Amino acid sequence: MSDLAERAALWFRADLCLVDNPAWAWATANAERVLPFVTLDQRLLASVGEFRRTQYLANVAALREELRGHGGDLLVVSHQPGAALHEALGSCDVLCFNNATSAFGRSREAAIMHSLPIRTERFWGTLIQPPGAVLTAKGTLSRVFTPFWKTWDRTPLASMPQVGTATIETASGDPLPEYSSPPHPPGSDAAFAALNEWCHTVDDYESTRDIPSVPGTSGLSAALRFGTISPRTVLETVGTHTPGRAAFVRQLAWRDWYAHLLMETPSMLSHAFRPEYDAIRWEDDPDGLQRWKAGQTGYPIVDAGMRQLAQTGWMHNRVRMIAASFLVKDLLIDWRHGEEWFRHLLVDADPAQNAGNWQWVAGTGTDAAPYFRIFNPITQSRRFDPAGVYISRWVPELAGLDASAVHAPWESAPLDLAAAGVVLGDSYPAPIVDHAMARERTLAAYKEARGG
């Protein structure tokens, strides 16, 4: 007993779970009492989109209930780190938390540690492999995904941390702000239920993952974003013993890779990985940007995705790629505007994943789609939503068109449009841009930035 700390302060962040949470496990095993707390940074809460805000607050409330079930509570500190935090936690003798990878997250760590000048125990709890664990033979982080993934795949997992028997304290602090109904059922129990459900269909992942009209992906991104389930739990539960499972787990490696890249290159949030692409002369097109955001570009698959995002806070990965590519390569609008909009609306918005994927699509990142690979939104639409089911769901004004016509309504004969009740430029927009022309314009702009 004498080696135990008396009182550990446990800071919950994007790890709102008591299972496979190394900071929580350490605190409960190495202290007599644990005081769990969250800090609600009011400026941060006010700046994030409503989907993410409500999901976060609902997850915090679910965690609080779980802690109450264990006889404790969750201390809510609604202030900037400073006097209030010191008053609430200053008598603890150790501060425990799981690290963040973004510069912003690390600046919050510095602020908390400044307010609480006590011993600190830090862990990695939100990734499968921590930064620095997956390196090339030269000891560097691979700038190309496949070699990273091959090493990642054979890097042993750390053992699951064992939770101890500390008493959980009952301080509750400030009330949680009001929030409306979150996009996903909140809390760890719901995340575990979603994972178990996913295990029934994951074997089909390779054939269904690109079809936005079916639930062919796990839908676990928000749970992973807030840490209501850990990625290692997901990996260990799903396993890699079938091609579908292996393909799914590979996506979790992308998640680790972008987080490691962000840790190493904080500027990736606002600057192209390849500096030459910061010189692209983007179009200044507020109207185009507005129409893209509103799902009014006249390209049905793009509009369907943007409306799904605006209405639900989530968009299917294939459609994220198509919509992002359309903004950057058809409208030639700076990827950072798109990144910002996605960050605002996505319930799973995460700086590393969002910026990393945007740079992949824009062709400005490491191991990105080559700049000359320009998605054709119509071809993509025909390939991945052949019957137009996804489009009709989100762009109901086109539901009367045949499956063959719904991908590019402007190619239909006026009589067919009229029969379907579609008036281009009125009930549904005419295409905002001609794809073939836009493609040439983009190739020229990228070539110029590359020095010809």
Ligand X SMILES: Cc1cc2nc3c(=O)[nH]c(=O)nc-3n(C[C@H](O)[C@H](O)[C@H](O)COP(=O)(O)OP(=O)(O)OC[C@H]3O[C@@H](n4cnc5c(N)ncnc54)[C@H](O)[C@@H]3O)c2cc1C
Q: With respect to ligand X, which residue has the nearer C-beta, 68 or 344? A: 344
Give 3-state DSSP helix, strand, coil % of the chain, rounded to 5.
50, 10, 40
C-beta of 448: minimal distance to ligand X in Å?
24
- Bridge partners of 34, per DSSP, are 8, 168
Q: With respect to ligand X, which residue has the nearer C-beta, 123 or 198? A: 198
Q: Kindly indicate which of the ranges 97-105, 177-185, 350-358, 426-434 contains the residues binding ligand X, using the contact rule CB under 6 A.
A: 350-358
Residue 390 within binding range of ligand X, rule CB under 6 A: no
- In our burial notation (b when 16+ CB lie closer than 10 A, e otherwise), range 415-429 reads eebeebebeeeeebb
Would you give the binding string for ligand X spanning residues 267-306, x where CB under 6 A is met? ----------------------------------------
Q: Kindly indicate which of the ranges 4-12, 128-136, 347-355, 436-444 contains the residues binding ligand X, using the contact rule CB under 6 A.
A: 347-355
- One of 350, 366, 381, 435 touching ligand X (CB under 6 A): 350
Residue 358 within binding range of ligand X, rule CB under 6 A: yes
DSSP state of 119: E
Q: Kindly indicate which of the ranges 128-136, 302-310, 316-324, 423-431 contains the residues binding ligand X, using the contact rule CB under 6 A.
A: 316-324
C-beta of 259: minimal distance to ligand X in Å?
9
Would you give the binding string for ligand X spanning residues 124-163, x where CB under 6 A is met? ----------------------------------------
- The CA distance from 85 to 80, in Å, is 8
Residue 219 within binding range of ligand X, rule CB under 6 A: yes
DSSP state of 330: I
CA distances from 394 to 51, 151, 221, 338, 405 (A): 18, 40, 21, 20, 16
At 348, the amino acid letter reads: D
Query: In the range 224-243, which residues lie near ligand X by CB under 6 A?
Result: 224-225
C-beta of 37: minimal distance to ligand X in Å?
26
CA distances from 233 to 118, 220, 243, 248, 259 (A): 31, 12, 19, 14, 18
Q: Which of 194, 255, 197, 259 is nearest to 228 (CA)?
A: 194
- The CA distance from 283 to 288, in Å, is 9
Q: Could you give the count of Cα atoms lying within 13 Å of 207 in the half-sphere of its Cβ?
A: 4
- The CA distance from 99 to 96, in Å, is 10
Query: In the range 242-261, which residues lie near ligand X by CB under 6 A?
Result: 251-252, 254-255, 258
Query: In the range 174-213, which residues lie near ligand X by CB under 6 A?
Result: 209
- One of 62, 324, 401, 408 touching ligand X (CB under 6 A): 324
Q: Which residues bind ligand X (CB under 6 A)?
A: 209, 217-221, 224-225, 251-252, 254-255, 258, 317, 320-321, 324, 342, 346, 348-350, 353-354, 357-358, 361
